[in-house]
A and B are shown apart, each in its own frame.
Chain A
């Protein structure tokens, strides 16, 4: 089954404790991206990757890092999480820009 898998689904952490949210897709898609969803703000892109070893900033990249060492994986790293990063995070993949994006199930992150 074609899918995008995120882990964990739920995470509560403390300010400053580094964390990684994993994302994996099994569709051999070149393009992957991370979004955060906040009430009243919709989906905002954090980072995206057009291919292996190619990443770029989205609209709200501050406080986040990503890496794309393999085509299928695109982890989101929060080196020093802060409470304003409490949000619902989605990973998405697509064959190329301008085509259907497939979203993961989401990761609800709470930073206290």
Chain B
């Protein structure tokens, strides 16, 4: 089955700086790569996703890039704000089951 590795496990950034979280996956058949944000006491919420026929996707301060050859994808958050502090999960899958990474704690320091 699919195996997703997520790095780093914890990331601290100064407010206004950029944050990058990287994930690698193992199954070349995976074609759907979502990113979820989990705030304290809440369930994960989708913030952006990308499919295998696209290399990059942006939504305001958030972007995701996908390198299918290397089997890795990354979340980029620019101009970080305190409300970006949360746990971020990447996932990979598609027609098969979705596998999640272990999560990344992002702390934005004011």
Contacts and interface: CB of A to CB of B under 8 A. Distances in A.
Q: Do A and B bind each other?
A: yes
Interface of A: 4, 35, 40-45, 48, 58-59, 90, 92, 97-101, 103-106
A97 B43 contact: no
A43 B43 contact: no
B46 A101 contact: yes
A99 B101 CA distance: 17
Contacts of B97: 45, 48, 58, 97
A43 B44 contact: yes
Interface residues of B, number: 26
A100 B34 contact: yes
A96 B63 CA distance: 24
B100 A42 contact: yes
B45 interface: yes
Q: Is the contact region of chain A dominated by helix, strand, or loop, or is it mixed?
A: loop
Given A42-B89, A43-B100, A104 B43 contact: yes
Nearest to A100: B46
B92 to A, nearest CB: 11
A42 B95 CA distance: 21
Given A98-B93, A105-B43, A106-B43, A40 B102 contact: yes
* Among all A-B residue pairs, the 7 with the closest Cβ atoms: A103-B43, A42-B102, A43-B100, A98-B32, A98-B94, A100-B46, A42-B103
Select the residue from A4, A40, A43, A44 with max chain B CB neighbours within 10 A.
A43
Contacts of A44: 100
Given A45-B99, A103-B45, 17 more contacts: A35-B100, A40-B102, A41-B102, A42-B89, A42-B101, A44-B100, A59-B1, A92-B43, A98-B31, A98-B32, A98-B93, A98-B95, A100-B34, A100-B46, A101-B34, A106-B41, A106-B42
